[in-house]
Structure 1
Amino acid sequence: MRTIDLTLGDTSRPQAHNVFGKTLSFLQVGRDNEGAAKASALSLLAEVGEKQRDARLATLALTMKLDTFEKVKKAIDEMRVALKQEQEAEKKKKDWCTSQFQKKKLETQEKTHEEQTKIAEMESLHSSVSQLAGDIKLLEDEVSEMNKQLQVAGQNREKENKEFQKVVGEQRTTQVLLKEAMASLKSVYAKEAAFLQESTSKVAGVHGEEPEFKDFKQQSGSYGVLGMLQQLIADSKAMEVEATHAESTAQEDYEAFTKGTTASVEAKTKDITDKDADKGATEASLVEARQSKEGLTAELENLATAVAELHDECDYMMQNFDARQSARGDEMEALQQAKSMLSGAKA
C-alpha cells in the first residue's frame, strides 16, 4: 500500500487537492461496485480528510478501493497509532515549550535582578571612590597648609630670637658701660671727699673754728648722678629679664605649636595613606563589578536570543494546539468509525 506522509496544514499544496479530487471520483465508482458499508467508510474518510485538510485520510480512502478489507483495516490501525503518537508528541512539545518559556522567564528575572544589583553596587563603589578622592585632596591641602604654617612659624621664631639676642646684648653692654661709669665717678668722688676733708681739718686747726659745710650741695649732686646711673642699670637689667621671659615664653609656644602641628601632619599623612589604599581597593572592586555586570548583560542578551528562538519554534504550535488536537482527534474518530463500518460489513 502506498502512503503519502503529509502533516496538518500541508494540504494547501496542489497535490493534496488533486488527491481529494481523485478520491471523490473513486467514491462514485465505489458506490456502484462496493457494498454500502465500504462506500460509507470511503465517504467518511474522504469527508473528514477534506475537512481537516489531511491528505493522509484521502490517500487511505483511495487504498480502500484497491486493497482488501484486512489491509485497509491494518492501514487504519497504523494511521490511528501514528495520529496518537503525534498527539502525544505534540503534548510533550507543548509541555516542553511551556517549561522552557517559564525557565527562561525565571532565568531572565534572576539575571535582571543580579544586573540591577550589580549596577547599584557599581554606583555605590563609584560614589565611594569619588568621596575618597575628595577626602584625600582635602587632607593633602590641610597637610600642605600646616607645613607652610610650620615654615612661617620657624622663620618668625628665628627673627624673634635674633631680636632677643640683640636686645639682651645691648642691655648687657649698657650695664657694663654704666657700671664702669659708676666706678669712675665713685673713684673721683672719693678722692674729692678725702681732699675736702683734709683741707677742712687744716683750716680748723689754724683758726680754731668749726669747718663750714659750704660744699655739701656739691657732694649731694655727685651722689644724685650715681643714683641715676644705678637706676639706669636696674632698668637695663629689668629689660633684660623681661626680654628673657618673653623669649622663653615664645620658645615654649613655638615648640608646643611645632609639636602639635607635626603630630597632626603625621596623623593626616597616615590617613591619606590609608584612604589611598582604600581608594585603590575600591577601584579594583569597581573594575570587577563592571566586568561582572558586562557578563550579566551578555547572559541576558543570550537569554533574549534563546527566547526568540523558542517563539519561532513554539508559537505556531502553541497558538493552534487546541485546534490541532481537536482535528487530529476527529481524524482518529473517523478512522475508528471507518474500521467499524468495514468490520460490520465483513461480519
Structure 2
Amino acid sequence: MTTTASIRAPDLGRPNRLRLAWLLLVLGLLGICCALSVAIGARDVGLADILAAFNGLADTIEQAAVTKRIPRTVLAAIAGAALGLSGAVMQGVTRNPLADPGILGINMGAALAVVVGLAWFGLAAAQAYIWTAIFGAAVTAVFVFVIGSLGRGGATPLKLALAGTATSIALASFITAVILPRNDIAEGARSWQIGGVGGATFDTIIQILPFLAAGFLLCLLSARKLNSLALGDELAAGLGERVMLARATASFGAVILAGATTAICGPIAFVGLLVPHVCRLLVGVDHRWLLPFSALGGAILLLASDVIGRIIARPGELDVGIVTAFVGAPIFIWIVQRYRGRDL
C-alpha cells in the first residue's frame, strides 16, 4: 500500500542540512552577481560611487551610470527568477525534462500577442502589454497541450516537446510576417524579440510586480501538489489529490510568470530549461525545495549573463537573450552527457 511517505522517498539522499548549505551558497552567489551587475558596464565604477548613487546622488557620470544599472539589476533578478520558477513548474506539471517556456512555445505565443497588439491595436501602456502577453501565453499553452495530447498515449513528454517546438517555429514566422510591413515598429520589435533587460526603470518594474507576485504565489503553493503529480495521475488521485485542478493551478502560475516576463523583457530562452536541472542535482526532486532554488538560480543565470554581455562587447553590449543561449547550451549538454538522465 502506498502512503504519503512515498512522496518523500526521493529526499532521503539529500538531508536538509546539505540543502541549507547550498541555500547559503546560492544566496551568496546571488549577492555577488547583483554587486557585479551594478559595478560593471561600459564604465566601471567604485564603491564610493555606488554608495553615493544608492543615496540618491547622480553628480558624476559614474554615479549616473549606477543609477541606471540599479533598476536593470532588479529587473534581471526578478525576470530570471520568474523564468527559472516557471520552467521548474512546467517540468513538474508535464513530467517532461524538456519542458520550459521556450521549448513549449509559450514565450513565442506571448511575443506574437504583443506584436499583434502593437501593430494592429496600438498598444502603448505597460499594463496592456502584460495582459496581452499573458493571454497569448495562455492560449499557446492550451494549444500545445491539446496538440500534444492527440493520438495514442496522450500528452507524452516527446509529443509535448515536438508540438511546442513546431508551434514556436510557426509563431516566429507569424511574428516576422506581422513586423515586415510595419517599418515604424520593425526596429523596436526586432530588438525586443532578442530578449534583454536594458532600459529598465522602476516604473516598469512596479507595473509588472503584481503579476509576478501572483505567479510566484500560485507556483510556490503548488509544490506539494507537484510532488504528488510526480507519482503519476492515478496514484496522486488515490492519495486524495484533485489532479486536474492541481495541474491547472500550477500551469496558470507558470503561464503568468512567463507571459509577464516576456511582455517586459522579450522572449528570453533557455533559463527555464537549464536552471531546474541544475537545482535538481543540488537539492533533489522535492518541489518544496526545487521551486525556490529554481527561482534563485534563474536570477543568478540572468544576472550573470547580463554582466557577461556587457564585458565581451564593450563599449557596447550583447542582449541577455543571446548570452543565455551561449552560456546555457553547453552546460545543459554537459549535464545530459555526464549524468545520462539519471538525476534529471
Q: TM-score range by the shorter chain?
A: under 0.3
TM-score normalised by length of structure 2: 0.20
Greater helix content: 1
TM-score normalised by length of structure 1: 0.20
Which one has a bigger Cα radius of gyration? 1
